[in-house]
Amino acid sequence: MIKIGILGEFDANAGISQKLQPFKEARIEGAAGHGCGHNLYGTASLAAAIAIKEQIEKGTLKGKVIFYGTPAEETIFAKVWMVREGVFDQLDVCMDWHPGDTNESGTQSTKALVDFRISFNGSSSHASSDPWNGRSAVDAMELYTTGLNYYREHIIPTSRIHYQFEAVGDVVNVVPDYAKIWTRLRGNTVENVNVLYDRALDIAKAAALMTGTTYETKLISGIYEILVVTKPIKEAILRQATTPELKEIALKEGFQTMQDMGRRMIANGELSFREYERVLSN
Ligand SMILES: [Zn+2]
């Protein structure tokens, strides 16, 4: 029996509460809100799951539909943990979408990315009477972002670097001993991202060295680029091709079955035989 998964995301970003109007005004001051159409995800996905369920009950479609609530997309990409725990292993196909201004089957991958935090630790002192005994964590953070921004010129144009300061000093007359920054690096492939990631960690190390501070890094999350749908597959989806038809086109387009991909990963030492068996036995 074919098992279809539908992802219903529910998430929000801090501080972007907004009334239903085209100019900025918070619905609830300081509260969270939805960015880039994410208010539609949960309800529209649930409606799609119900529509499929009704078709199955009527006998027009065969199979089983499973609706997944997937939280925290905007912050830590909780689906990564759901994948690790095997909650999608039972599926034959899993459908996801993003709000846009046209109805289409996309042929573009989203970017791969890595998210991490760096905290700098220095030592505080009075900024006027004893600055020579201070080691500023904020100086380290500034040098880190300066390094990142000089590096920005030399990254390939499809890559992206974003950051937000999460902790800085509180008052101006104390050398701050703690600073924290959240960085996100994106690239078209995970290989691109790893190049950026290595360099960012070097820049953090250099910033700490320059300021006599120490630093710690903490990986938050990361995602791979997604499997790119080719034009023939996109067209087949839009003309509502059957599953066997889609499978045939996909194989012709060079897509691998899970078995093939698993065998290749075992051969490359990227997957254990046990994990391969676990996934395929579901
Ligand atoms: Zn979005």
Say what the pLDDT of residue 106 is.
75
Cα angle for residues 185, 262, 105 (degrees, 5° grid)? 55
Q: Which long-range contacts (CB under 8 A, 24 or more apart) does 268-271 make?
A: none
Angle between helices 190-211 and 137-151 (to 10 degrees): 140
Rounded Cα distance between 179 and 119, Å, is: 6
Q: What is the whole-number distance in angstroms between the Cα of residue 34 and the centre of ligand 1?
A: 9
Ligand 1 centre and the CA of 128: distance in Å? Answer: 46
Instruction: Determine the distance separating the centroid of ligand 1 and the alpha carbon of 92, expressed in angstroms.
Output: 25
What integer pLDDT is reported at residue 54 of this predicted model?
96
Q: How far is the CA of 245 from the centre of ligand 1 (A)?
A: 31
Domains (range + CATH), the chain? 3-105+228-281 (no CATH), 112-223 (3.30.70.360)
CA distance 208 to 282: 48
C-alpha to C-alpha distance for 205 and 52, rounded to whole angstroms: 53
CB of 276 closer than 8 Å to CB of 266 = yes
Q: How far is the CA of 234 from the centre of ligand 1 (A)?
A: 21
User: Using an 8 Å Cβ cutoff, are 98 and 9 in contact?
Assistant: no
Residue-wise pLDDT for 166-213, tens only, equals 999 999 999 999 999 999 999 998 999 999 999 999 999 999 999 999
CA 81 to ligand 1 centroid distance, Å:
19
Query: How many angstroms separate the alpha carbon of residue 16 from the centre of ligand 1?
Result: 14
Please give the pLDDT value at position 76.
85
Distance in angstroms (rounded) separating the CA atoms of residues 74 and 67: 20
- Cα–Cα distance for residue pair 214/144, rounded to 1 Å: 12
**Residues in the chain with pLDDT < 70?**
227, 281-282
Rg (CA), the chain: 24
Q: Which two tokens stand for residue 131?
A: 């600055």
Residue 181, beta-bridge partner list: 118, 165
Determine the distance separating the centroid of ligand 1 and the alpha carbon of 32, expressed in angstroms: 15
